[in-house]
Amino acid sequence: MLWSERVQKADSAKRQHYADERGQLPRDTNDSDEFFQVAINPGSERDNSQKSRALLKRMTLEEKVGQMTQLAIGMIAKGQNQDIQIDPEKLDKAIVRYGVGSILNVSDQALTADKWHEIIRQIQEAATKKARLGIPVIYGIDSIHGANYVRGATLFPQEIGMAATWNPELMKRGSEIAAMETRAAGIPWSFSPVLDIGRQPLWPRFYETFGEDPYLAKVMGVAFVRGFEGTDVASQDRVASCLKHYMGYSLPLTGRDRTPAWIPENSNARICAASF
């Protein structure tokens, strides 16, 4: 028997074992492999490569550096909580003078959709009307378990809770709702899903992961991304996703966040890389 056939047979036996333990799946629930194969092939996508290359040829070195720079909103704003306001002088310095290409996050508290519209509108007006090339700023935020930085949005369980459902269709539907409510606030990009593998119980961000199993994390991660992006990420009810954080980030030796890890190369490839 070929090695690939042995692996396939072992996977089939494992899935049957899980099915026997949990009982038969409902008829409207797809097999995880079937879901995965469909989800990773969204169909035809827009090809903007020629437009991008033409724009790059027009850019100076300074403008390219600016587009690769991302600032937290606090660097162009003043005030706190619900009273946060864009500082026009700081905004012009960042966007018009230095050509910053991206702004991220929130200051202190979740904001209403109307407040987000006010903030995003000022940023985009500076980028598209005052900067030489008129390139819109890409704004990003952590919509990790729903649009949690938009007041009044729907919240869902953290990833560890969604993983416990073993239901990628449910994960996809939750992400569709999160995408719609994030985009409704004028934000086109979310820093999620978290695809780190949760195998270090001392790590304080364990709950952000889909748990210890690379296969489950891979399938749920694909569901998350497809729910966010759909078949056209430019649609008004979709957002771009961002896989995070880094391979091996979730396995610090001491358990403390952002500290050194000691991971054998084969373990990194077999365990940490699979979900990405």
Count of structural domains within the chain = 2
Query: Closest by alpha carbon to 242, among 174, 203, 190?
Result: 190
When pLDDT is averaged across residues 59-64 and rounded to a whole number, the result is 96
Is pLDDT above 80 for 6?
no
Query: Closest by alpha carbon to 140, among 243, 32, 50, 242?
Result: 242
Tens of pLDDT, residues 159-187:
999 999 999 999 999 999 999 999 999 99
- The residue out of 76, 108, 139 marking a domain boundary is 139
pLDDT of residue 11: 54
Q: Which domain holds residue 65?
A: 50-139
| Separation CA 123–CA 181 (nearest Å) | 20
Distances from the Cα of 270 to the Cα of 85, 95, 208, 265, 266, angstroms: 47, 42, 21, 9, 6
**Are 168 and 269 within one domain?**
yes
7, part of any domain: no
pLDDT of residue 189: 97
> Positive or negative CA dihedral for 209, 211, 212, 214?
negative
pTM, entire model: 0.84
162, part of any domain: yes
Is pLDDT above 70 for 7?
no
- The residue out of 139, 158, 174 marking a domain boundary is 139
Burial profile 138-153: b = 16 or more Cβ within 10 angstroms, e = fewer: bbbbbbbbbbbbbbeb
56, part of any domain: yes
Q: Provide the token pair at 59.
A: 């850019």
**Given pLDDT bands bounded at 50, 70 and 90, which one contains residue 24?**
low
**Are 106 and 223 within one domain?**
no
Percent of the chain whose pLDDT exceeds 90: 78
**Are 148 and 264 within one domain?**
yes
Is pLDDT above 90 for 47?
no
**Are 148 and 273 within one domain?**
yes
**Are 133 and 208 within one domain?**
no
